[in-house]
Amino acid sequence: MTNGSGKEMIEEISNATGSGQMFNHLNLIYEYPFVTLRIDRENDQLNTLDIETCREIYDALEIIWDDEQIKTLIVTGNDRVFSTGADLKWLSNVSPYAARHFSRRGKEAFGRLEELNIPTIAAINGLCIGGGLELALCCDFRIASTKARFSQSETNIGLIPGWGGCLRLPRVIGQANALRLIYTGEMINAKDALELGLVQQLVPAENDCVEAAKEYAKPFVNRSKIALMFAKRAVVTGIEIPLKYAYELESDLFGFTWTSEDCKEGIQSFLKKEKPKWKDK
C-alpha cells in the first residue's frame, strides 16, 4: 500500500472487510463442545494482525455465536507466537484518519470476542505483544506456556494501545501495574504475568496449551450454557455500571435464568440426587 488520502485508505479497508467464511489468516477447529480459533498468518513469523485478519476474527465469532453445540472458545496462535499485534508494515503507510479507522475495526472484532455468550480462553504459547495482548485480554481466562512473553509495547514506537489495552489491562491487573507496563513497554515472562494476575495458569513448555485450556474448562464446560451465559453477562456488564444498577441487572438475569428449562432440570435433579441433563434452553 502506498501513502494516500484518508478516503483512499478507507476505501481499501472497506474492500478488505467483505462477508464470507473463507479464512486466509485463521482456522476454526471444531472439537465439540470446544472450538479453537487459531490465528496463523502464513509467511508472517510474528503473527501480526492486519485489517483482513481483524475482519476474519469478527466473521469467525459470528459463526461461533450461532453454533449451539459450542460451549467454550479457545483462542490461540501458532507454536511460537500468539500475536505481536498490528501489522506495522501495513500500518506505517496509512493516513492518521485510516489509522483511527483501523483502531475502530479492531475494537469491533475484539469487542465481539469480549461479548461472546460462552466462556473464552486464550491459550498463549509464545510472544503475546501489543495488539496480541489486547486480544488475549478480551478472553475470560488466559492460559500460558512457561515460554510465553508479554508486553503492552506500543509506547516503544511512540504509540498507545489502540484496541482497548488502556481500558482492559487496568481492569485485569490494576491501574498502577497497567500503567507501568504501558509506560515502559517492558517484556515480562510467564511467571511475572501469573503473579500479576494477567494469566490464570502456566503450562510446561513441552505441553500443549490448547489441551491445557480444555482441561481448565472441564469444571464448567458441562454446566448449563444458559446459566453460564447469564452469569457472564452479570459479571462483565456489572463491573461497567454503578453498583446499584448492577444489583438490578443481576436480579433481572437471575429471573431470566429462573424461567429456563435448565433451571427446572437442575432443581429437580438436585432434589432427586441425580445428574442433570442440560438442554441449554
Render pLDDT for 209-242 as a digit per residue (tens, 0 to 9): 999 999 999 999 889 889 999 999 999 999 889 9
pTM, rounded to two decimals: 0.86
Quickly state the pLDDT bin for 18 (edges 50, 70, 90).
Answer: very low
In a shared domain, residues 244 and 168? no
For residue 74, what are the β-bridge partners?
36, 121
- SS3 category, 261: helix
In a shared domain, residues 28 and 83? yes
Quickly state the pLDDT bin for 21 (edges 50, 70, 90).
Answer: low
Render pLDDT for 47-72 as a digit per residue (tens, 0 to 9): 999 888 999 999 999 999 989 899 99
User: Do 49 and 87 touch, CB atoms closer than 8 A?
Assistant: yes
Q: Output the pLDDT for position 94.
A: 77
Q: Output the pLDDT for position 113.
A: 95
Rounded to whole angstroms, the Cα distance separating 224 from 276 reads 9
User: Do 189 and 129 touch, CB atoms closer than 8 A?
Assistant: no
Residue 277 has pLDDT above 60, yes or no: yes
In a shared domain, residues 158 and 134? yes
In a shared domain, residues 72 and 189? yes
Residue 12 has pLDDT above 50, yes or no: no
User: Do 51 and 14 touch, CB atoms closer than 8 A?
Assistant: no
User: Do 72 and 120 touch, CB atoms closer than 8 A?
Assistant: yes
Rounded to whole angstroms, the Cα distance separating 210 from 192 reads 21
User: Do 171 and 240 touch, CB atoms closer than 8 A?
Assistant: no
In a shared domain, residues 46 and 126? yes
Residue 1 has pLDDT above 60, yes or no: no
Mean pLDDT, the chain, rounded, equals 87
Render pLDDT for 139-165 as a digit per residue (tens, 0 to 9): 999 999 999 999 999 999 998 998 999
Retrieve residue 193's grid coordinates.
504475568
**Average pLDDT, integer, range 127-138:** 96
Catalytic residues: 134, 154
In a shared domain, residues 99 and 164? yes
Q: Output the pLDDT for position 17.
A: 36
**Structural domain total, the chain:** 2
278, part of any domain: no
Domain that holds residue 254: 225-272
Rounded to whole angstroms, the Cα distance separating 262 from 114 reads 24
Output the domain CATH number for residue 267: 1.10.12
In a shared domain, residues 75 and 177? yes
Q: What are phi and psi of 152, to 5 degrees?
A: -95, 85
Domain boundary among 179, 205, 221: 221
Q: Output the pLDDT for position 194.
A: 97
Nearest to 113 by CA among 76, 138, 143: 138
Rounded to whole angstroms, the Cα distance separating 150 from 206 reads 19
Strands 127-129 and 120-124: unpaired
Q: Output the pLDDT for position 118.
A: 95
Render pLDDT for 158-211 as a digit per residue (tens, 0 to 9): 989 989 999 999 999 999 999 999 999 999 999 999 999 999 999 999 999 999
Query: For residue 258, how many other CB atoms are within 10 A of its CB?
Result: 11
